[in-house]
């Protein structure tokens, strides 16, 4: 990714996530073929009292045009994590980092198009890992939908999608009600929301 694009995306995120100077931690990753995807980690704050993990670099891959009117041509991905998770611990942040990257690089690996409303499934090598899938959503909790798109250059606009991790019960619920109602389940008009990701679901969800 060009430095000017990265700077635009970074400033965009700082603005909409209410980040203070030097508050963000950056985790670096270079994948096969030189595909460089960083993950920016923003701690809970007063405006958004949960962790925010956001890719910067995934949008270097231009999505193939597989639909007549694509919602986006370049995607970045964000995950919101319960504030009670201690992401200052190496093992914990690595777990979320790996799951976010697995979803964020799917389109690149498979050379395909993905957008909000898409779901993913996988088999875990670790039997203790209860998360077996993910769902792509719009980051509605951020309220200001200006966060959704960032124009980083001429003809170069990144769209930010939310990754929600799913366990078996979540997947079964999704299969029963479908993507439209599942969105309402994640972000209900009334009642408890379910948009946060956790390694292990608890009674709050």
Give 165's strand partners: 134
Residue holding tokens 């292990």? 200
Report the pLDDT value the prediction gives residue 140, as an integer from 0 to 100.
94
- Per-residue pLDDT of 71-127, as tens digits, reads 999 999 999 999 999 999 999 999 999 999 999 999 999 999 999 999 999 998 888
Report the pLDDT value the prediction gives residue 67, as an integer from 0 to 100.
76
Q: How far apart are the first and last CA of the chain?
A: 37
> 205 pLDDT exceeds 50?
no
As given in the structure block, the two tokens for residue 165 are 């991790």
Decide: 50 and 44 in contact? Cβ < 8 Å. Answer: yes
Q: Which residues contact 202 (CB under 8 A, 6 or more apart)?
A: none
Residue-range domain boundaries for the chain: 3-186
- Per-residue pLDDT of 145-159, as tens digits, reads 999 999 988 889 999
Where does the pLDDT of residue 31 fall: very low under 50, low under 70, confident under 90, or very high at 90 and above? low
């Amino acid at each position: 990714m060009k430095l000017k694009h990265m700077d635009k995306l970074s400033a965009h995120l700082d603005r909409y996530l209410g980040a203070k100077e030097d508050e963000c931690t950056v985790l670096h990753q270079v994948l096969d073929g030189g595909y460089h995807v960083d993950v920016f980690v923003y701690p809970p704050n007063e405006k958004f009292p949960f962790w925010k993990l956001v890719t910067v670099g995934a949008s270097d891959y231009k999505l193939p045009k597989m639909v007549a009117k694509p919602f986006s041509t370049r995607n970045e991905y964000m995950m919101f994590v319960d504030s009670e998770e201690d992401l200052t611990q190496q093992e914990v942040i690595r777990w979320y980092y790996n799951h976010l990257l697995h979803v964020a690089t799917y389109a690149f690996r498979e050379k395909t198009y993905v957008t909000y409303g898409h779901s993913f499934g996988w088999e875990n090598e670790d039997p203790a890992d209860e998360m077996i899938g993910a769902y792509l959503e719009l980051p509605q909790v951020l309220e200001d939908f200006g966060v959704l798109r960032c124009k980083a250059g001429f003809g170069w606009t990144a769209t930010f999608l939310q990754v929600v991790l799913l366990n078996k019960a979540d997947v079964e619920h999704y299969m029963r009600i479908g993507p439209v109602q599942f969105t309402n389940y994640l972000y209900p008009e009334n009642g408890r929301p379910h948009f946060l990701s956790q390694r292990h679901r608890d009674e709050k969800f």
